[in-house]
């Protein structure tokens, strides 16, 4: 199965946040690496700690920018002026048994949390996934830390499908549960699991 690139042209949009700020969202370009690095360095350490890579490293962000593969991963950035205030990623699983499933990640500048930026980013990723024929989206969140993210995902139709007790440690060494939420994009007759 050939995986085609996510459509790019239709993915630029502007909106006004709940706080009255004008925000532009668009797919990441190679030239965004410095603005993205600045954003990631502004995010509190306790929020970055759960990420897979050291996102404060210029070489890590440069590698991302140099190797954009829109056929597998669609990174969308939210800008207030020329400053990145949000980063959202839709990852498509490789061809095979899970090719119908995508995974989303969202990170919003603390100054813009609660303003609707995260909701817009998540909604945009869900729309792209649906247009591309994905049937499900998965979203992992640290239970006690990501309360606002869980609330936003729930408003958009995500439901918790699993919770892994004491699965992640924070920067202080305390254990937290990891919750996986799912959004079904294609209606089915299957009843959701209840936890």
pLDDT in tens, 134-169: 999 999 998 877 888 888 899 999 999 999 999 888
Kindly tell me if the per-residue pLDDT of 28 is higher than 80. Answer: yes
Q: What pTM value is reported for the model?
A: 0.84
Q: Domain containing 121 — which CATH number?
A: 3.40.630.30
Q: What is the mean pLDDT of the chain?
A: 85
Examine residue 177 and state whether it is found in any structural domain, yes or no: no
Examine residue 125 and state whether it is found in any structural domain, yes or no: yes
Kindly tell me if the per-residue pLDDT of 8 is higher than 70. Answer: no
Q: How far apart are CA 178 and CA 132, in angstroms?
A: 28
User: What's the gap between Cα 103 and its chain centre?
Assistant: 8
Examine residue 20 and state whether it is found in any structural domain, yes or no: yes
How many structural domains comprise the chain? 1
Residues in the chain: 195
Examine residue 30 and state whether it is found in any structural domain, yes or no: yes
Q: How far apart are CA 41 and CA 58, in angstroms?
A: 10
**Average confidence (pLDDT) over 174-192:** 82
Q: Report the sign of the C-alpha dihedral through residues 137, 124, 60, 51, in that order.
A: negative
Kindly tell me if the per-residue pLDDT of 7 is higher than 60. Answer: no
* CA distance between the termini of the chain: 35
Examine residue 3 and state whether it is found in any structural domain, yes or no: no
Examine residue 93 and state whether it is found in any structural domain, yes or no: yes
Q: Which domain holds residue 24?
A: 12-135
Closest CA to 65 of 92, 34, 40: 34
What is the predicted pLDDT for the residue at 59? Answer: 85
Kindly tell me if the per-residue pLDDT of 5 is higher than 60. Answer: no
pLDDT in tens, 71-99: 788 999 999 999 999 999 999 876 778 88
Q: How far apart are CA 182 and CA 159, in angstroms?
A: 5
User: What's the gap between Cα 125 and its chain centre?
Assistant: 8
Kindly tell me if the per-residue pLDDT of 125 is higher than 60. Answer: yes
Examine residue 57 and state whether it is found in any structural domain, yes or no: yes
């Amino acid at each position: 199965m050939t995986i085609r690139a996510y459509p790019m042209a239709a993915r630029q949009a502007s909106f006004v946040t709940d706080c009255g700020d004008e925000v532009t969202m668009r797919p990441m370009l190679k030239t965004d690496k410095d603005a993205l690095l600045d954003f990631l360095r502004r995010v509190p350490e306790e929020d970055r700690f759960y990420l897979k890579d050291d996102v404060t490293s210029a070489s890590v962000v440069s590698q991302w920018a140099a190797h954009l593969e829109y056929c597998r991963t669609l990174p969308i950035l939210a800008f207030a002026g020329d400053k990145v205030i949000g980063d959202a990623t839709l990852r498509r699983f490789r061809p095979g048994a899970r090719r119908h499933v995508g995974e989303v990640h969202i990170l919003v500048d603390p100054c813009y949390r609660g303003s609707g930026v995260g909701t817009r980013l998540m909604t945009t990723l869900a729309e792209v996934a649906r247009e591309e024929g994905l049937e499900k989206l998965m979203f992992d969140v640290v239970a006690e830390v990501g309360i606002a993210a869980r609330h936003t995902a729930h408003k958009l139709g995500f439901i918790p499908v699993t919770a892994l007790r004491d699965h992640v440690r924070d920067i202080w060494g305390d254990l937290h549960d990891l919750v996986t939420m799912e959004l079904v994009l294609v209606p089915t007759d299957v009843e959701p699991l209840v936890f």
